[in-house]
Structure 1
Amino acid sequence: MASAAAHVNNVIIEEREIQKCYWKEHSVDLTLEAMMLDSKASDLDKEERPEVLSLLPPYDGKSVVELGAGIGRFTGELAQKAGQLIALDFIEDVIRKNEKMNGHYKNVKFMCADVMSPGLNISDESVDLIFSNWLLISQDDKDFQKFLDNVQYKCSGILRYERVFGPGYVSTGGFETTKEFVEKLELKPGQRVLDVGCGIGGGDFYMAENFDVEVVGIDLSVNMISLALERATGLKCSVEFEVADCTKKTYPHNSFDVIYSRDTILHIQDKPALFKSFFKWLKPGGKVLISDYCKSTRTPSIEFSNYIKQRGYDLHDVEAYGQMLKDAGFEDVIAEDRTDLFIAVLQRELDVVEKEKDEFISDFSKGPRSDRSLRTGSRFRSESGSRIWDQGPGFEFGLDPSTGWGQGRVEGWGHDQFWVGVGAGVGARRENSLTEDLVAFPEVELPLKDLDFIIITCFSFLFLFSIVILCFFNSDSTIMAAVDNAKVLEQEREIQKNYWMEHSADLTVEAMMLDSKASDLDKEERPEVLSLLPPYEGKSVIELGAGIGRFTGELAQKAGHLLAMDFIESAIKKNEEINGHYKNVEFRCADVTSPDLDIPEGSVDLIFSNWLLMYLSDEEVENLAERMVKWLKVGGFIFFRESCFHQSGDSKRKYNPTHYREPRFYTKIFKECQTTDGSGNSFELSLVGCKCIGAYVRNKKNQNQICWTWQKVSSQDDRGFQQFLDTVQYKCTGILRYERVFGSGYVSTGGIETTKEFVAKLDLKPGQRVLDVGCGIGGGDFYMAETFDVEVVGIDLSVNMISLALERAIGLNCSVEFEVADCTTKTYPDNSFDVIYSRDTILHIQDKPSLFKSFFKWLKPGGTVLISDYCKSSGTPTSEFASYIKQRGYDLHDVEEYGQMLSNAGFKEVIAEDRTEQFLQVLQRELDVLEKEKDEFINDFSEEDYNDIVNGWKAKLIRSSSGEQTWGLFIAKKNKE
């Protein structure tokens, strides 16, 4: 044993030297990329750092130690709240850079020291928070051993359950019942599923792999999630796991298409509150599926009562369980007693266990350790008399029965390799999963009695990795090698080039659009895309990603000069072959990301691309956006169209490197783009329009084809009302607050209740077209499209509203298209719509008569307009109400006058109703619910948000009760010709 200890000590000394040399090499640049060992560090840091800081417990005015502080990525933010901060790193150049950046914080002490050094002097019990990011911190041996023993016991229990239920499963019936229940969900590609009590992930992997859905699995058990992460190794499916308490966890409203839970909620005491959360988290039309232990309606026996109490269960009869779901707001509730199935499954499982008794005892008995091994799934083998446990990432331990000593190996996950071991001593061989080269470490014999202890040590480290507590780590013994940024980008371009060379073999429109119905789609979609472009007659145009020239010929007919560019040579040659007769077109084979691409600054009027940015990395998109702004003349435009969220074409692909992003990614990148000319003038992009491609909505019920139009403007220019809406009245948090009050998907008075009442007056017929002016986040549009099979176009001036509406549309199979547009400047052909619908929006419009004349033109003969809106009483408003109207920028009229404006625009059969009494009733109900759910609201938002909403509602009640503010409902017809 003395020999073993000496070996371990030598290994530790060598390890520190290796790590120091490694970090000295990678700290030469002292950049964010060097510290994070990632070419995309800047982008990752913007999102990851706030997230990490948000996970910290309160430390305002407290004593904080930051271990492995580096160049100070977190130091400055920690210093802003901490009372005293020690920032510590073992690379001197790094901590000096940190001090240079953050030395102005007088509460920070910068220290160059190794956390492993016995000379590191930090007083006992003097620190409130120890923070580290990518540094492994050991606990006190005694406490750590106690923790591991606790984890070990629980892990072995999980593995026993898995042995009974089948690989990957710890709930009744395993794969058999999972398959049966999941079929009831009718999952569609791209949908999001929340699995509450996910266990070790078997059901999640099944759903993600078979239905191409995204699954979030949460479980309160650290060990369950540790094993789930292990099982995920090597699987190519969209499943993420988190250790979380479902009773405290929060998600934004309308986050999931399905919530799924198997034999878990029996542990939850307050089921009604949980089911209300489920209701909020589900999208409109979403489903919840739960299997759970229940009890009969009769009084339980003493034995069963004791069992329930001992287990801490909260059981209800099946009918009561179903009623709780109804009370939470769910409709179409099915509550089935499946006890017969439960008994049949239990019996089958028991038969298998009894049949495999000896094998089970061999794997799990509490006999002498020399006869024990661990096993998961079905992988178990013997080698030279040694029992081997080999599963997932590969923990392998062999022992010599004659001596009772053994050796072990741990393979890391994917590209990461790590070796962990705590105890008398460990012998390890680290196997690099990429190169298969063996890296020799000094071998030390290990007593068999520590075998389970070391396995569970590995689990505990998985736990640290998975729940992202205060310690983010790379293993002390191996850290992933840094990859040069240029090499990563080069690999990205090579992957994309190979992908498109494969799909350009035929050089057909089907190959370019990656869709078997491309020819039909193209006839409808191409004219639509071209119609969305700003005027470019006689102007300088660049077409990026021109391909075989689907748009090139049409652009050439109007442009003064057109540069058509693509990085696939065969594609651009085919384009030239088709469109070479246009003498104003220059064809160029070039990569838009190449630094050698030379386009003079301020030389272009319009930059056009169709399906380009989705084939660039995040960093490449950001870089290209900056370059495009420079290429543009002041007043010039950028138009681009991308596939968002998920694949749209039906072509089969061996692999797919496309980046299907959320629309808000592109909006954010281009909105934040700024450039300066040689005279120091600053320029940025102003959003002109953003919308779904209607052809895809109509033909594929797909809202994920989205285009943007931006204009280069001076940074000093006024962004106008749209900026006010998105930064003041309708910030994302503000919208979500309104939705919380009005109900899922709604931001106007009465939510679904008034929507149903008012829409019923429209007498909608399948196939009719509806324009929703001020559509908000789309709840009313989805209701009309799904219930009446109509086509809805929703427009709103707020980018935030439309972004949320597009997210809500994921997975819905209905014909709704959304567009960021100003209804006062937007134009549609005459006779385009059967119905124009607007809820509490036109109060923002100053020139209502002109808008109503547009409505009249856009409506088909016999069409209907329905408007609800804020109004005022006749006469002069009080100074307080006048001040409120001015501050909000409203234009209010009395109900009669409002109706008259519709008549003046040409409408007939005008109905102008004062609905203030209904408004007051709705306001009061909404306020009552708010006050009843105060704690929950504050937990989801803040006390300030709660007070803002409550005070706003009370103020509306006072203004409306006094008769100053009124609410009108207006319905009018356009005569049939």
Structure 2
Amino acid sequence: MASAAAHVNNVIEEREIQKCYWKEHSVDLTLEAMMLDSKASDLDKEERPEVLSLLPPYDGKSVVELGAGIGRFTGELAQKAGQLIALDFIEDVIRKNEKMNGHYKNVKFMCADVMSPDLNISDESVFKECHTKDESGNCYELSLVGCKCIGAYVRNKKNQNQICWTWQKVSSQDDKDFQKFLDNVQYKCSGILRYERVFGPGYVSTGGFETTKEFVKKLELKPGQRVLDVGCGIGGGDFYMAENFDVEVVGIDLSVNMISLALERATGLKCSVEFEVADCTKKFYPDSSFDIIYSRDTILHIQDKPALFKSFFKWLKPGGKVLISDYCKSTRTPSIEFSNYIKQRGYDLHDVEAYGQMLKDAGFEDVIAEDRTDLFIAVLQRELDVVEKEKEEFISDFSKEDYNDIIGGWKSKLIRSTCGEQRWGLFIANKKREDSLTEDLVAFPEVELPLKDLDFIVITCFSFLFLFSIVILCFFNSDSTIMAAVDNAKVLEQEREIQKNYWMEHSADLTVEAMMLDSKASDLDKEERPEVLSLLPPYEGKSVIELGAGIGRFTGELAQKAGHLLAMDFIESAIKKNEEINGHYKNVEFRCADVTSPDLDIPEGSVDLIFSNWLLMYLSDEEVENLAERMVKWLKVGGFIFFRESCFHQSGDSKRKYNPTHYREPRFYTKIFKECQTTDGSGNSFELSLVGCKCIGAYVRNKKNQNQICWTWQKVSSQDDRGFQQFLDTVQYKCTGILRYERVFGSGYVSTGGIETTKEFVAKLDLKPGQRVLDVGCGIGGGDFYMAENFDVEVVGIDLSVNMISLALERAIGLNCSVEFEVADCTTKTYPDNSFDVIYSRDTILHIQDKPSLFKSFFKWLKPGGTVLISDYCKSSGTPTAEFASYIKQRGYDLHDVEEYGQMLSYAGFKEVIAEDRTEQFLQVLQRELDVLEKEKDEFINDFSEEDYNDIVNGWKAKLIRSSSGEQTWGLFIAKKNKE
């Protein structure tokens, strides 16, 4: 009951927050206020027609528009709909809408909250986990019709986060045909990542980046041209073209998984690439839409190539060009084995000459049809050699089965190509500058979706950094209904049942391999378990709870130190096995219980440490939030919570029939626990303070993945000062501030000179493969990725800013390099003596007040013969001006002159100290960065704001003045620890 009441209160509070937010932004009932954008008028002219063009047919139909606002879409929907209900929960807004569109007699205006259980449109639920049944027991679900970026935002803001979906209600028995085959068989996410591992980051076609460079060069791309990439995969080629040739690219692929990964890869790239889930045989574009059509190893899937090539011809502008690479076959009759392969894959292969002829028949001229099988064989062999060389690493990241599957596939392709059966063709053709194609050439028509007995839903999701709002336009026939309030208890009950079934299946074999879902579990456990335990705060003689204890991987070692340990798991066989292994510890209580159960009774303020390992990822978002609140209550003041989760994607290689795990972004957990608050009986407020957050190093070293992340939180009084970390994350290094800095310094960098100074300074370290580097103040990781990828070193990057590390972890996705990140204070952090070969720090130690103590720590952490390299802000000798002193104080800096800085390193024990005044270089870099920024003013303001632009420009100009006058200087410091 308490849990249900808390949920109701949370929902009410959420609605109140949203209502207040929109009331504030609805004071001025303008387009700018509704779109929350100063450029709304210009955007609207381009974006609204685009959104409306994506809707399925609804002429004469019953339509519901949710979140109708002041009527941006209402009037145009009313012109076609039979009946339109326009809803919004802000009364002033819906009145303005009615004032503008009330002359449409088919529109009913309603002030209502879509979350209200009193909202009644008819009697049948449509949104219930996307499945529903009618009275006869027939099952229905939603089938994806389309998913794409809103092009207006890509073109104007270079961002791909404005995404819309179109779904069709179909019988659950309907065949989902080829798209389903692609996403469930050939291009499962794991399969795509395997291919990417072979072809190179961002690529899933032959030769990856190398062949892309070669083939794109043949296109002679010009800035501003529009390119259509048919079968774009995960977007590597599209990003390459957009970034290097300043073209606009539209990438389409039938695979939802491909487009999902492409959209993730697009994060932070700021390039003009638009992605869409689409079937090229049914897609429609206006005539003369593109300058280039590009396709890599994709059209082999298309059965009716002549019709597709006619569409290509129409879509191209006069003078446009098509470039295709594709699998082909020889002119002779294929062997039975090759025929079976073609049939099993669903391919339609032709010989190179016949392929070229089809392009000619479609109207293309200057057709080049090259047999590039020799290149294909050379590339295949090279790729195969790399995979075989990296066998252990590949198996560690995927599985032995995956490795054998790739090796077997590549060898088969080599055999088929070497014997001449399988060929690889490159085709380039032009459309004449004067369009002589007769009107009877017909492209594939737009798909007509019948509305009878179907519901259509188009969802546009707007995401601005951490602000997410969803506007839903719903289209229903007269018998359809919407119920926005879903039975929450039932949903949570289903979630628990799914998770329980999942773990009962994986607990049949009660082994470490089964618990860790990894074939290499035994080896990983030896390295990973001690690491996890070493991260725990002191708990000797304390009260400890282990949630999700499983078969007891950690229970025994926790029991050896704890005063009392409660080990819990919701799988009875697992907790019984745990008791069988660890029951000889008399301080352990074993309990089979579900942590989400409201019946779980743990006294408030009774626990010193709550420990969990891979638990929250098996709970729904709401369950995580509820459990976090309960855990804070269970803790004593000063007590700790430690949890470790898999983020972003799966790490273990165990095969799973289905996987209900929630692989979230780390910032989700940080936000939930950071916002947790509780009050005791005396009215005292308590919250959680972040003590530490880091990757699990064992997974970085063995699997080169940063998605195993742990957090340590401490329960503190809400009045406690959060100190410098809070200042960094809420003032100087807010996420928007970091992204602004990155825009100036270059992708991945937030320190002076970006990649250029990084390359220059790293060259001085003489890095060797296998060395360990500590980066103090690593920022968002650009320098760490550079060192790990180019010198095969292991890097540990630490930063006090949670925002910096969150972005670094996101940037690490897919890079497959040995970089470990941690939120840590370098002044309180400890490492064993002689841990690192190199300590590296860029423009960070200016924040540290006690540099001599830190440099002594550096000296201890370095191995004999190790090197420290630091760049940092300094000052001239003598007393600073009042203005500069005020700037230093406001920033919390501790600055020294270059000579004094070098002397502190000498006093710490370092030898061969080099202390260089690099202010001249600093001035040149600042001026160059400022020039680029001023040149790209409109683009910067478009992506951020005019205030952001002025702030950065003024900051850079102020640094130039201070540095030119000699007050602010910039130093480079290199020092050695003696070998003996």
Output the TM-score relative to the length of structure 1: 0.60
Aligned-pair distance for 1:459? Answer: 23
Instruction: Tell me which residue corresponds to 2:917.
Output: 914
1:576 & 1:156 partners in 2: Cα distance? Answer: 36
Alpha-carbon contact 2:852-2:905 (below 8 Å) kept: yes
Are the equivalent residues in 2 in contact too, given 1:837–1:866 (CA < 8 A)? yes
Q: Kindly provide the CA deviation profile for residues 700-747 of structure 1, in whole angstroms up to 9, marking residues without a partner as x.
A: 111110000001111111111001111110011111111111111110
Q: Contact between 1:226 and 1:459, CA under 8 Å: does it hold in 2?
A: no
Task: Report the secondary structure of 1:758's partner residue.
Answer: helix
CA displacement 1:894-928 (0-9 Å, x = unmatched): 00000000000000000000000000111111111
Change (3 A) 1:434 1:641: farther
- CA 1:125–1:900 in structure 2 vs 1: closer, same or farther (change >3 Å)? same
CA distance in 2 between counterparts of 1:54 and 1:762 reads 57
> How big is the shift at 1:59?
26
> In 2, are the aligned partners of 1:222 and 1:463 still within 8 Å (CA)?
no
- For residues 364 and 793 of structure 1, what CA distance do their matches in structure 2 show? 24
Cα offset, 1:567, TM superposition: 0.3
Match of 1:776 among 776, 779, 786: 779
Deviation, structure 1 residue 950: 0.8
CA contact (8 A) 1:254 1:808 kept: no
* Shift in alpha-carbon separation, 1:119–1:532, aligned structure 2, 3 A: closer
Partners in 1 of 2:613 and 2:714 — Cα distance?
Answer: 17
Percentage of matched positions with identical amino acids: 98
Q: Deviations over 1:462-500 (max 9, x none)?
A: 999999786687986354796421111111111111111
CA contact (8 A) 2:235 2:251 kept: yes
Cα deviation digits, residues 925-958 of structure 1 (max 9, x gap):
1111111111111111111111111111111111
Deviation string 1:662-714 (CA, Å, 9 cap, x unpaired) is: 11111111111111111111111110000000011111111110000001111
Contact 2:852 2:908 in 1 (8 A): yes
Stretch deviating more after TM superposition (581-590 or 447-456): 447-456
Q: Which among 402, 405, 408 is matched to residue 407 of structure 2?
A: 402
2:462, 2:469 within 8 Å by CA — same for their partners in 1?
no
Name the CA distance, whole Å, in 2 between partners of 1:286 and 1:771: 51
More moved, 270-279 vs 871-880? 270-279
> Using a 3 Å threshold, how does the CA distance of structure 1 residues 451 and 539 change in structure 2: closer, same or farther?
closer
Q: CA 1:67–1:769 in structure 2 vs 1: closer, same or farther (change >3 Å)?
A: closer
When residues 339 and 110 of structure 1 are mapped into structure 2, their CA distance, relative to the original with a 3 A threshold, is same
Per-residue CA deviations over 1:169-218 (Å, capped at 9, x if unaligned) read 99999999999999999999999999789699999999999999999966
How has the CA–CA distance of structure 1 residues 719 and 274 changed in structure 2, closer, same or farther, with 3 Å as cutoff? farther
1:557–1:767 Cα change, 3 Å = same
Contact residue 196 and residue 259 of structure 1 kept, 8 A: yes
CA gap of 1:924–1:471, structure 2 versus 1, over 3 A, is: farther
In structure 2, relative to structure 1, the CA distance for the partners of 1:9 and 1:285 (3 Å cut) is same
How far did residue 891 of structure 1 move? 0.3
8 Å contact from structure 2 (residues 871, 972) kept in 1: yes
- Post-superposition Cα deviations, 1:858-891, rounded to whole Å, max 9, x if no partner, equal 0011100000000000000111111110110000
- Maintained 8 Å contact 2:55/2:458: no
Contact 2:544–2:610, Cα closer than 8 Å, also in 1: yes
Checking the alignment, whether the CA contact within 8 Å between 2:452 and 2:477 is kept in structure 1 is: no
**1:839 alignment counterpart:** 842
Q: Any idea what the Cα deviations from partners look like across 1:552-605, whole Å, max 9, x if unmatched?
A: 010001111100000000100010011111111000000000010000111100
Native 8 Å contact 1:40 1:619 kept in 2? no
Q: Is the 8 A contact 1:691 1:819 kept in 2?
A: yes
> Does the Cα contact within 8 Å between 1:513 and 1:649 map onto a contact in 2?
yes
Shift of 1:636: 0.6
2:513 pairs with 1:513: no
Aligned-pair Cα RMSD in Å: 17.9
Cα pair 1:229 1:466 within 8 Å, conserved = no
CA distances 1:401-434 after superposition (whole Å, capped 9, x unpaired): 99999xxxxx9999xxxxxxxxxxxxxxx99999
Q: Which has the larger Rg? A: 1
The structure-2 alpha-carbon separation of the partners of 1:665 and 1:101, relative to structure 1 and needing over 3 Å to count, comes to: farther
Check 1:148–1:919 CA distance in 2 against 1; reply closer, same or farther (3 A cut). closer
8 Å contact 1:39–1:484 — kept in the other structure? no
TM-score under structure 2 length normalisation: 0.60
* Cα distance, 1:332 vs structure 2: 28
What SS is found at the alignment partner of 1:334?
A: strand
- 8 A contact 1:243–1:466 mirrored in 2: no
Check conservation: 2:460, 2:471, Cα contact below 8 A: no
Report if the CA contact (8 A) 1:43-1:619 is conserved. Answer: no
**How far does the alpha carbon of each residue in 1:581-634 deviate from its partner, in whole angstroms, 9 at most, with x for none?**
111100000000001000011110000000000111111111111110111111
* Residue in structure 1 matched with residue 112 of structure 2 by the alignment: 113
Q: Distance in 1 between matches of 2:338 and 2:510?
A: 71
Greater alpha carbon shift after TM alignment, 336-345 vs 652-661: 336-345
Worse-superposed segment, 752-761 or 186-195: 186-195
C-alpha deviation, 1:63, in angstroms: 24
Following superposition, the deviation at residue 361 of structure 1 comes to 51
- For the structure 1 residues 667 and 79, does the alpha-carbon distance in structure 2 shift closer, same or farther, using more than 3 Å as the test? farther
Q: Is the 8 A contact 1:152 1:452 kept in 2?
A: no
Give the Cα separation in 2 of the matches to 1:213 and 1:919.
Answer: 33
How far is 1:43 from its partner?
32
* Cα separation, 2, equivalents of 1:469 and 1:276: 36
User: Residues 435 and 882 of structure 1: is their aligned pair in 2 closer, same or farther, counting only changes over 3 Å?
Assistant: same
Aligned-pair distance for 1:234?
31
- Cα 1:850–1:365, aligned 2, differ >3 Å: closer, same or farther? closer
Task: Give 1:56 deviation, angstroms.
Answer: 17
Q: Which runs of 4+ in 1 moved over 2 A?
A: 1-11, 13-127, 130-134, 138-366, 400-405, 411-414, 430-483
- How far residue 339 of structure 1 moved from its aligned partner, in angstroms, is 14
TM-fit CA distance, 1:976 = 1.1
Structure 2 equivalent of residue 858 of structure 1: 861
- Paired residue for 1:353? 387
In structure 2, stretches of 5+ residues that fail to align are 127-162, 411-421, 426-432
2:223 and 2:565 map into 1 onto residues whose CA distance is: 39
CA shift in 2, pair 1:627/1:193, >3 Å: farther
Measured after TM superposition, the shift of residue 505 of structure 1 is 1.1
Write out per-residue CA displacement over residues 418-461 of structure 1, whole angstroms, 9 at most, x where no aligned residue: xxxxxxxxxxxx99999999999999999999999999999999
* CA pair 939-893 structure 1, distance change in 2 beyond 3 A: same
How many angstroms apart in 2 are the aligned matches of 1:786 and 1:330?
A: 44
Change beyond 3 A, Cα 1:450–1:363: farther
Distance 1:108-1:864 versus aligned 2 partners, 3 A rule: farther
Distance 1:872 1:159, change over 3 A: closer
Contact 2:541–2:564 under 8 Å retained in 1: yes
Q: Which moved more, 1:207-216 or 1:169-178?
A: 207-216
Q: Residues 86 and 445 from structure 1, CA distance in 2 versus in 1: closer, same or farther, beyond 3 angstroms?
A: closer
- Distance verdict in 2 for CA 1:330–1:783, change over 3 Å: farther
Q: 1:199 to 1:726 in 2, by over 3 A?
A: closer
* Separation (CA, whole Å) in 2 of partners of 1:54 and 1:848: 61
Aligned equivalents of 1:895 and 1:508: distance in 2? 58
Structure 2 SS opposite 1:158: helix
> CA, structure 1 residues 571+192, in 2 after alignment: closer, same or farther (shift >3 Å)?
farther
Change (3 A) 1:733 1:327: farther
Contact 2:326 2:424 in 1 (8 A): no
Runs of 5+ unmatched residues, structure 1? 367-399, 406-410, 415-429
Point out the more displaced range, 13-22 or 814-823.
13-22
Are the aligned partners of 1:131 and 1:471 in contact in 2 as well (CA < 8 Å)? no
Structure 1 Cα separation of the partners of residues 883 and 307 of structure 2: 41
1:538 and 1:363 mapped to 2: Cα distance?
39
Q: How many residues align?
A: 918
CA deviations 1:44-100 (Å, max 9, x no partner) are 999999999999999999999987779999999999999999986899999999999
The 10-residue stretch of structure 1 (468-477 or 646-655) with the greater mean CA deviation from structure 2? 468-477
Matched position secondary structure for 2:711: strand
* 814 and 307 in structure 1: CA distance in 2 versus 1, 3 angstrom threshold: closer
Kept in 2, the 8 Å contact 1:464–1:471? The answer is no
SS of the counterpart of 1:73?
coil
Q: Following TM superposition, by how much is the alpha carbon of 1:531 offset from its aligned partner in structure 2, in angstroms?
A: 0.3
TM-superposed deviation, 1:236: 29
Measure, in 2, the Cα distance between the counterparts of 1:215 and 1:55: 19
Aligned residues of 2:387 and 2:394 also touching (Cα < 8 A): yes
Distance of aligned partners of 1:436 and 1:281 in 2 relative to their CA distance in 1, 3 Å threshold: closer
